[in-house]
């Protein structure tokens, strides 16, 4: 029986870094961000439903979704964000479960589900253990502004669209503190991997 681990964090918390470390350690990672891209590709059911809900103006000339345009709409409008989530989340869940089954069929004993909005989307029941990658709010804000070239106001709006990191950390089984150096984060990941090994 495979163990399903949920990996989450907040925007600019360094979750992707930890995800890559776990992948490098040999664990299959099923990434919700990849799933979210796959389920809204040109010609997909997701793309069709988004077109019906938001109109053709959120699509590029080639028929692919215009993510920045859609992002600007939903980051500042909670109701529209709900509409989009109602379309995308069930499709993402379906895609991830299919990937999970594929890894189980290939003999994987521990599978990581990388889900940025694990708590917001109430997907806790998909996993047996939750790891949260956390940083303090100031670090998160400055990293986000730098990474996405955002103003403080825009960065705060994006952070406010998610559950605060300290709240996620409170609900986690394991917290990886990513406010320090990369080496410190790697040490914590290595300790975590030891606990996976002892279980299998």
Binding-site annotation, residues for ATP:
12-17
Q: Using CA atoms, how far apart are residues 34 and 78, in angstroms rounded to an integer?
A: 23
DSSP letter at 57? G
Q: Using CA atoms, how far apart are residues 151 and 148, in angstroms rounded to an integer?
A: 9
Cβ count near 85 (within 10 Å): 15
Tokens of 93: 């869940």
Annotated binding-site positions: 12-17
Backbone angles phi, psi at 117, to 5 degrees: -105, 45
Q: Using CA atoms, how far apart are residues 146 and 169, in angstroms rounded to an integer?
A: 24
Q: Where are the beta strands (DSSP E) in 66-179?
A: 110-114, 129-134, 174-177
Q: Using CA atoms, how far apart are residues 196 and 120, in angstroms rounded to an integer?
A: 26
Burial category of 181 from C-beta neighbours within 10 Å (exposed 0-12, middle 13-18, buried 19 and up): exposed
Phi and psi based region of residue 77 (left: phi greater than 0; alpha: psi -120 to 50; beta: remaining): beta
């Amino acid at each position: 029986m495979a163990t399903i681990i949920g990996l989450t964090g907040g925007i600019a918390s360094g979750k992707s870094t930890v995800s890559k470390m776990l992948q490098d350690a040999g664990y299959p990672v099923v990434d919700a961000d990849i799933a979210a891209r796959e389920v809204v590709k040109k010609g997909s059911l997701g793309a069709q439903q988004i077109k019906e809900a938001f109109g053709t103006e959120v699509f590029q000339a080639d028929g692919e979704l215009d993510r920045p345009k859609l992002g600007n709409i939903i980051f500042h409008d909670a109701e529209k964000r709900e509409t989009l989530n109602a379309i995308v989340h069930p499709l993402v869940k379906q895609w991830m479960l299919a990937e999970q089954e594929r890894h189980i069929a290939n003999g994987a004993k521990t599978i990581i589900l990388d889900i940025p909005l694990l708590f917001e989307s109430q997907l806790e029941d998909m996993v047996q253990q939750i790891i949260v990658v956390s940083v303090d709010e100031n670090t998160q804000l400055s990293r986000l502004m730098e990474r996405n070239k955002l103003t403080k106001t825009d960065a705060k709006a994006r952070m406010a669209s998610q559950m605060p990191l300290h709240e996620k950390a409170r609900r986690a089984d394991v917290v990886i503190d990513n406010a320090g150096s990369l080496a410190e984060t790697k040490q914590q990941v290595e300790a975590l991997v030891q606990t996976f090994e002892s279980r299998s």
